[in-house]
A and B are shown apart, each in its own frame.
Chain A
Amino acid sequence: MIRSLPRSPSYNRAFTLFITLYFLFLFAPLLVTCVLAFNNSDFPALPWYGFTLDWFLSAGPERVGIFQDADNLRAIRISFQTALWVSLLSVTVGVCAAFLFEQENFIGKELLYYLMLAPLVIPGVILGISILLGANTVGSYFDEVWGWDFDLFRPSFWLVVFGQFSFITTFVTLVVSARLRTFDRSLEEAALNLGATRLEVIRLITLPFLRSAVIGAGAVAFLMSFENFNTTLFLVGSQPTLPINLYLQVRDGSTPVINAVSLLLILGSAVLAVINLYFDRRREEKG
């Protein structure tokens, strides 16, 4: 049944076969996508017509590679900017929230804690429409009462940033809180006894302790933002992020350029995954 017990060969074989098939199931779509990015064909399909880099480099007119494709490049740039802002904001607020929930006591703490967990159970689509509606209500209020007109309250770059920030911060809070819980508070007390102010204690002792957790959470926040679709779908204005832009292309028919973009995305996520894993390991080694 398990490692330490005798098992029949057929049991072992069946389980090995099952796991092999499972990993094939996991990786097949990604492998096919990557391989077909190099196929010398106008469609992302087999048969194999030979190796080409056209879908990365070609400048047209028949084939436009991703590095020449102004539309997709712009979407990549917008996604980068969005993800940068979202990870910056969510890490800042998430660290504040972790300190608040782990180290402070106040009336209504439990209620606020549950409100902080709420984004975990609100479907992303609902979060998107709620923020769209809320922003619209506020926007039309400003417009009617004071005659002010803000772009912020219409589907736009910043609305996407705030929409993604609203749920990604919860994940950052949970990761940083988990780390903060393992912190030995006597270190803080020692520093306070020696005359440090609380702000100095946080800056010199607690934050360095949290560093690897914060960097890891920041990387995950970046990736979650970069890849978000459900919430972004309702908030996006004239500046589509990469997932939205790709979705529109996939829906209306596909060319191997999408495979090329996907390949880049897969490589990018793999790099981030490895960075995150590295920091996880270091965190574990340090205790």
Chain B
Amino acid sequence: MRGRALFWLFITPVLLWLLLLILLPHLDLLLLSFRNREGWTLDNYRTFFYEPVYWLTFVRTALYSIITTFLTLCLALPVAFYITKLARPGMRGLLVVLLLLPFWVSELVRVYGWMILLRESGGLNYLLLKLGILHQPVEMLYRDATMIMGLVYTSMLFMVVPLVSTMEGLDDSLIEAACDLGAGRLTIWWTIIIPHCKPGITSGSIVVFMLVLGNYLTPNLMGGKNSLWFTEQIYNQFIASFNWNQGAAFGFLLLALSSAIIWLGLKITGQRLGEVAR
């Protein structure tokens, strides 16, 4: 009897949380996306496909998110390699702490830091002018490339941490053996390190992709007027046009896209969400 009571004590808050705050709101999102003031309709989805600005932004957001995820991976691999395989063992702990530190700070503060560094009157322009490299200040903010750099910066952590932990498990003697047998650096990377890190690469890429796709702050503050991000379209529908049904349709499309890509990523690498979460 006592055991049962305890079971209900555990499950009640968990059910309340998952049903009231996760399941029902998302069902409501789906239902509302098929409605407008008159009743049931497909209009909200029709608008998406007939207005190029909407689906172009959608495709753009998806492509840029993939590019960002890939760039983050390319940058994170050598960093993780240095920390786990090259740095002196005494330095390791310190480097990992340093690596994590900036990500404890609010994303807004980090983006703001980049804004005052990169804008026309910003720190980098000042430095380059003083050094004589530039003769006229250049607006570095509000460009697609800057926005992607900002996105890489804000999501770096979620790639580096899983990579460091999987690379730690790679036995050094495998690399030594490959080296003794005459393998070059590229071969070692391609046939030993990357296959070994596959679980870390998968979980890192999934998290980074999802965070970039759903990011609002960085594209909004660092991207220009033309670099619309799909979350901004959702925001506009909700806050500016007050067309919640349209916004719900957009939201559901974004959710479907992110779930599809995550599902695909898990399928290709043969992993399960439960494992990745650990």
Binding site for B on A (CB under 8 A): 1-5, 15, 18-19, 22-23, 25-30, 32-33, 36, 43-47, 92-93, 96-97, 99-100, 104, 106, 112-127, 129-137, 162-163, 165-166, 169, 174, 178, 197-199, 202, 223, 226-227, 229-230, 233-234, 243, 246-247, 250-251, 254, 258-259, 262, 265-266, 269-270, 272-273, 277
Contact = CB atoms under 8 A, between A and B. Distances in A.
A115 B251 contact: no
A272 B107 CA distance: 16
A3 B6 contact: no
Contact of B210 (A104, A123, A243): A123
Contacts of A46: 122-123, 126-127
Given A26-B99, A129-B248, 17 more contacts: A1-B188, A2-B85, A15-B86, A26-B156, A32-B113, A33-B113, A117-B277, A123-B213, A123-B254, A125-B231, A131-B25, A202-B6, A230-B214, A246-B109, A254-B115, A262-B112, A265-B105
Interface stretch (B12-20, B39-47, B66-74): B12-20
A61 B78 CA distance: 51
B105 A266 contact: yes
A29 B103 CA distance: 12
B109 A126 contact: no
Interface stretch (B26-34, B49-57, B194-202): B26-34
Contacts of B9: 96
B108 A229 contact: yes
19 contacts: A29-B113, A32-B113, A32-B116, A32-B123, A33-B112, A93-B13, A97-B13, A125-B254, A126-B26, A126-B214, A126-B251, A133-B25, A174-B278, A197-B2, A199-B2, A227-B105, A246-B108, A246-B109, A265-B105
B109 A133 contact: no
Nearest to A220: B104
Given A118-B22, A162-B21, A100 B10 contact: yes
A79 to B, nearest CB: 10
Contact of B104 (A3, A202, A272): A272
Top 6 A-B residue pairs of the complex, sorted by shortest distance between their CB atoms: A123-B214, A29-B113, A134-B25, A130-B25, A166-B21, A227-B106
B7 A106 contact: yes
A277 B185 CA distance: 35
Given A121-B258, A129-B234, A114 B273 contact: yes
A192 B33 CA distance: 53
Nearest to A137: B28
A280 B100 CA distance: 14
A165 B85 CA distance: 39
Interface SS, B side: helix
A121 B273 contact: yes
Contact of A30 (B113, B234, B251): B113
B133 interface: no
B25 A230 contact: no
A277 B21 CA distance: 31
Given A123-B255, A125-B214, A270 B113 contact: no
Interface SS, A side: helix
Contacts of B97: 277
Q: Pick the most buried of A104, A118, A123: most chain B CB atoms within 10 A of its CB.
A: A123
Contacts of B102: 26-27, 30
Contacts of B278: 174, 178
Interface in B101-148: 101-102, 104-110, 112-117, 121-123, 126-127
A115 B116 CA distance: 41
A133 B29 contact: yes
A9 B28 CA distance: 61
A124 B214 contact: yes
A204 to B, nearest CB: 15
Q: Pick the most buried of B21, B221, B278: most chain A CB atoms within 10 A of its CB.
A: B21
A213 B278 CA distance: 15
A115 B22 contact: yes
Given A114-B274, A129-B248, A269-B104, A254 B18 contact: no
A213 to B, nearest CB: 15
A26 B120 CA distance: 21
Given A121-B210, A130-B29, A229-B108, A116 B258 contact: no
B181 interface: no
A112 B93 CA distance: 37
B235 interface: yes
Interface in B231-259: 231, 234-235, 238-239, 244, 247-248, 251, 254-255, 258-259
A265 B107 CA distance: 11
Contact of A250 (B32, B100, B221): B221
B159 to A, nearest CB: 13
B214 A269 contact: no
Contacts of B109: 30, 33, 246, 262, 265-266
